[in-house]
């Protein structure tokens, strides 16, 4: 079968990373969750040696997008219930930190940008465009963190969004209506400078979002409801 990926003119690991990352994040050219990545296949498709392929795979593995196999090659990562819980807690922790760094104060430009993201996501939801809805969701959260002016914090949040983007491969994984209603309340709290209320809303938003994803792509949400038999504390409540 003819490859859907055009051969590279330059055999650099950086360019290969960009192409593979784009296909993984967009579930295109056969790079859906669980897809196998053979070094031999990649060598044929890109007409390059194994060294830049291995370098690219190591970088993508470090980003959490793929898993390296013990005997060579890799596969596109499939998020487990534990992954989902840990990633959503990390997302919430970054945004709670951002609110505290800003002391709950957001500029008029940021509030306007948040409302624009919210409007774009609602429009995409109305049109049934899952990808556009998700991208609007990502922009909303990145805009919130960007108010800090802390680029490393923004980049950390962006990387988490990329790792969660794999969920768009699952029909129904995102329930946009309740999520957007929660965004509306977050926006209102941000515009009024209510830091404590905003932190509580963000933590609850991620807890609810994680639960909605669990009900769609996993066997249950036990680890969020008392975290199973161990009865560990609710990680989202600990952020408040």
Ranges of residues in the chain whose predicted pLDDT is under 50: 1-5, 7-9, 218-231
For 228, other C-beta atoms within 10 Å of its C-beta total 12
Same domain? 199 vs 171: yes
What pLDDT shows up at residue 26?
A: 79
The model carries a pTM of 0.76
Same domain? 44 vs 100: no
What CATH number corresponds to the domain at position 164? 1.20.120.530
CA 172 to chain centre: 16
On whether residue 8 sits in a domain, the answer given is no
Same domain? 113 vs 210: yes
Q: Residue 182, exposed/middle/buried by CB under 10 A (0-12, 13-18, 19+)?
A: middle
On whether residue 203 sits in a domain, the answer given is yes
Domain residues for 41?
A: 13-76
Same domain? 120 vs 161: yes
Q: Which tokens go with 100?
A: 């505290």
User: What is the distance between the alpha carbons of residues 134 and 166, in angstroms, rounded to a whole number?
Assistant: 11
Same domain? 95 vs 192: yes
What pLDDT shows up at residue 228?
A: 41
The dihedral built from the CA positions of residue 149, 100, 201 and 81, taken in this order, carries a sign that is positive
User: What is the distance between the alpha carbons of residues 79 and 167, in angstroms, rounded to a whole number?
Assistant: 8
Q: What's the number of domains the chain is made of? A: 2
What pLDDT shows up at residue 220?
A: 40
At which of 76, 95, 114 does a domain end? 76
Same domain? 155 vs 226: yes
On whether residue 5 sits in a domain, the answer given is no
On whether residue 1 sits in a domain, the answer given is no
On whether residue 67 sits in a domain, the answer given is yes
What pLDDT shows up at residue 127?
A: 87
What pLDDT shows up at residue 219?
A: 44
Q: Which tokens go with 139?
A: 């922009």
What pLDDT shows up at residue 89?
A: 92
User: What is the distance between the alpha carbons of residues 196 and 100, in angstroms, rounded to a whole number?
Assistant: 9
At which of 59, 76, 93 does a domain end? 76
Q: Residue 75, exposed/middle/buried by CB under 10 A (0-12, 13-18, 19+)?
A: middle
What CATH number corresponds to the domain at position 31? 1.10.10.10
């Amino acid at each position: 079968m003819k490859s859907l990926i055009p051969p590279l003119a330059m055999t650099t690991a950086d360019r290969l990373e960009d192409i593979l990352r784009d296909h993984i994040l967009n579930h295109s050219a056969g790079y859906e969750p669980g897809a196998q990545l053979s070094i031999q296949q990649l060598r044929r498709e890109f007409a390059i040696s194994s060294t830049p392929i291995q370098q690219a795979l190591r970088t993508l593995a470090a980003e959490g997008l793929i898993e390296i196999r013990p005997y060579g090659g890799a596969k596109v990562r499939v998020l487990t219930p534990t992954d989902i819980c840990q990633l959503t807690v990390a997302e919430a922790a970054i945004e709670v930190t951002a609110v505290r760094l800003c002391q709950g104060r957001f500029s008029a430009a940021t509030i306007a940008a948040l409302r624009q993201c919210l409007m774009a996501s609602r429009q995409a939801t109305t049109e049934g465009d899952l990808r556009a809805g998700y991208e609007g969701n990502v922009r909303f959260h990145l805009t919130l963190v960007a108010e800090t002016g802390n680029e490393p914090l923004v980049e950390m949040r962006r990387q988490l969004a990329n790792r969660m983007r794999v969920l768009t491969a699952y029909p129904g994984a995102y329930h946009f209506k309740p999520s957007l209603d929660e965004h509306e309340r977050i926006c209102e709290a941000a515009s009024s400078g209510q830091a404590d209320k905003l932190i509580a809303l963000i933590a609850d938003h991620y807890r609810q979002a994680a639960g909605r994803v669990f009900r769609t792509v996993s066997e249950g949400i036990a680890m969020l409801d008392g975290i199973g038999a161990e009865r560990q504390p609710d990680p989202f409540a600990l952020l408040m």
